[in-house]
Amino acid sequence: MRKNNDNKNKKPPYYLWGNHAVLSALRNPKRIIKKLYLTEKNKSYMDELNILSHHPIKILHLNEIDKLFHQQMVTHQGFVLETLPLQKKSLNEVTNSTLLVALDQVTDPQNIGAIMRSSKVFGATSLITTKKHSPGETGSLAKAASGALEYIDIVEVTNLAATLTLLSKKGFIIIGLDELGESKMSDIKLDDDQPRVLVMGSEGKGLRRLTKTKCDIMAVIENKTNDEFSTLNVSASAAISLYQLSIK
């Protein structure tokens, strides 16, 4: 009976998949690697990169790799890594950054992964998410992040409004993105050494009311066509905003 209970309490394997996600994880010294699953063709490709010598590897056919996911549809490209999730950072560990991104209940791992990619390109070092209404680190998020998960620290907080208040006290300018924002994102000019937080709202409702009250600037992405078209999703909006905030 005890053995059965142990099996019930046993956590399922945690997998990352996809070429870029797996390669970046293997190159991350902070990753705890359990096992790498590859096709024979991908094994030859990885041998050329000379990064396999210290990792346990199992060669499988594509249909055998598919079985790891128990009929879940996953585009793994013949690269699957069994690992452990990365350690989360505390807020105090990231307050020496110049640019942070905070997500107000963004739930789609595809969007979060894309935001992480933009964060890596435009110099944001950390992503602040809420413990509730956020997917956390998942294989789907890692695939969408295309390797950026290994470079962008995730900070999970219980209360985003309180977190923004604390960051404000530490000298951060809090910039919220909203369709009704009074300032154009392209017009915001800050000193190079001025730390800033870009706050993005959820896919459907945008920023919550309390979150808006914590923002020093409410900004909007200018619509060059002068009409009411406003259907950019949160990841596209984040990419544009991060780019504009990175312009000197």
User: Which of 19-33, 79-93, 162-176 is predicted most confidently?
Assistant: 162-176
Q: Are 122 and 236 members of one domain? A: yes
- Whether residue 150 is predicted with pLDDT greater than 50 in this model: the reply is yes
Query: What is the chain's length?
Result: 248
Q: What is the pLDDT confidence band of residue 226, given thresholds at 50, 70 and 90?
A: low
DSSP string, 139-199: HHHHHHHTTGGGTSEEEEES-HHHHHHHHHHTTPEEEEE-TT-SEEGGG----TT--EEEE
State the residue range of the domain holding 137. 91-246
List the 14-17 sheet strands across, edge first.
14-17, 79-83, 33-38, 57-59
Q: What is the CATH number of the domain that holds 7?
A: 3.30.1330
Pairing of strands 99-104, 196-201: parallel
Domain endpoint, select from 83, 107, 136: 83
Q: What is the residue whose two structure tokens read 């096992």?
A: 35
- Span 209-217, average pLDDT: 96
Per-residue pLDDT of 24-43, as tens digits, reads: 999 999 999 999 999 988 88
Confidence at residue 230, expressed as pLDDT on a 0 to 100 scale: 64
132 vs 107: CA distance, rounded Å: 9
In total, how many domains does the chain have? 2
**Cα–Cα separations (whole angstroms), residue 110 to 50, 56, 138:** 30, 29, 10
Confidence at residue 136, expressed as pLDDT on a 0 to 100 scale: 83
19 vs 146: CA distance, rounded Å: 8
Q: Are 130 and 26 members of one domain? A: no
Q: What is the CATH number of the domain that holds 167?
A: 3.40.1280.10
128 vs 112: CA distance, rounded Å: 11
Tokens of 86: 């990365």
Q: Are 181 and 136 members of one domain? A: yes
DSSP string, 32-63: -EEEEEE-HHHHHHHHHHT--TTS-EEE--HH
**What share of the chain has pLDDT > 90, as a percent?**
60
Tokens of 163: 């977190």
Strand partners, 55: none
Q: What is the pLDDT confidence band of residue 62, given thresholds at 50, 70 and 90?
A: confident
**What share of the chain has pLDDT > 70, as a percent?**
92
pTM beyond 0.95: the answer is no
Q: What is the pLDDT confidence band of residue 1, given thresholds at 50, 70 and 90?
A: very low
Q: How many other CB atoms sit within 10 Å of the CB of residue 197?
A: 24
DSSP, collapsed to helix, strand or coil, labels residue 9 as: helix
Q: Are 89 and 153 in contact (CB under 8 A)?
A: yes
Q: Are 168 and 205 members of one domain? A: yes
- Whether residue 6 is predicted with pLDDT greater than 60 in this model: the reply is no
Q: Are 153 and 59 members of one domain? A: no
